[in-house]
Amino acid sequence: MKRKVVLASRNADKVRELQQLFAELDLEVLSSADFPGLPEVIEDGTTTVENARRKAILTAAYTGHIAVADDTSLEIRELNGFPDIFAARFSGPQATYRSNVQLVLELMGDVPAASRQARFSTACVWVDPCPERQDHRAARPAISRWLRNPWARSIGIRDTAREWDFWNGLMDRRRVWDVYRRQMELDQVTWGHDRARLREVAEGLFLGCPDALRPGETLDKSAHQEGVRLPDTRLWAVDGPETSARPLTEVAPSGLPADAPGRETNGPFWFEMATEGKILGDITTEPVGALGFGYDPIFRPEGERRTLAEMPAAEKNAISHRGQAMRRLLTAVRETYGEG
């Protein structure tokens, strides 16, 4: 019987792209859309890997199946690295492909071609909540680790400052926000065509994240992401299943529905693999091409005359950030599980 793998996304365009990449494996491929009760996860990590991990862990926990999640950032040099990990919601909580692209072009304006460099980065994470073997290890470039089932024991959270810092990963995120703020205040960065507008966008991102607020600032609830909040995933990392003598998880996140199918089927130890892919390019002055999705119409890969939105799916997947990360993950799956 084929094992099932759930792509942790409700984005039909992304799911279609990932399904094409997964077609070579002997797995039944599903998506988050096949599980209406699956809650959203708050993507409050400071890297694409951490955000992908959060999505994969929650999806595996709920469904009881292998989960694969990805997360993408777009760093534009002239915009001080923005949109960065906020690429999907750069233009606000109701962001669309079109509004994100329009905002980037507005901010870039008449920035000359020599200063329009950008980088796409994608992290892909595989989480197996029921590994059949206890000795899995992935070869590089994949990075693997074992996790305790985060929901194996739920005794709540002891409310101490030290535990809350670790639980929410607050310190790491506050450092990221502080760097952005200092750069804005000191004007020691590039700000594209419209400095004031980029400052406004950045402040909006700060006010949508409770960890970024300073004394006296108020959370903009309309911009705040709703969903299940997971801790720093290092909380559950172990050397391997042989460490069973260690105590069970001391804290377990809330928000997983009581009727989640995975509650009855998930094992005590989970296996995780993560890979990354990157592609350099530049931002065009206007959208070009009708294929792809997201920022594809304004991203021209290095050495190419076409944008990603002008490339057929197979050609795009051969060079794209997501294609690179997923191929590395699939290679790790075949080597580790003997699939395909």
**Residues tagged active-site:** 71
Helix (H, G, I), strand (E, B) or coil at 182: helix
- Cα torsion at 135, 140, 146, 151 (round to 10°)? -130
Contact 238, 148 (CB under 8 A): yes
Q: How many residues does the chain have?
A: 340
- Residues with Cβ within 8 Å of residue 96, at least 6 apart in sequence: none
Give the CA angle between residues 261, 264, 265 to the nearest 5°: 85
What does the block give as tokens for 289?
A: 């091409």
Q: In whole angstroms, what is the distance from residue 266 CA to residue 190 CA?
A: 48
Question: Could you tell me which of 5, 21, 41 has the C-alpha nearest to residue 227?
Answer: 41
DSSP type of residue 175: H
Nearest to 274 by CA among 73, 131, 69: 69
Q: How far apart are CA 335 and CA 340, in angstroms?
A: 10
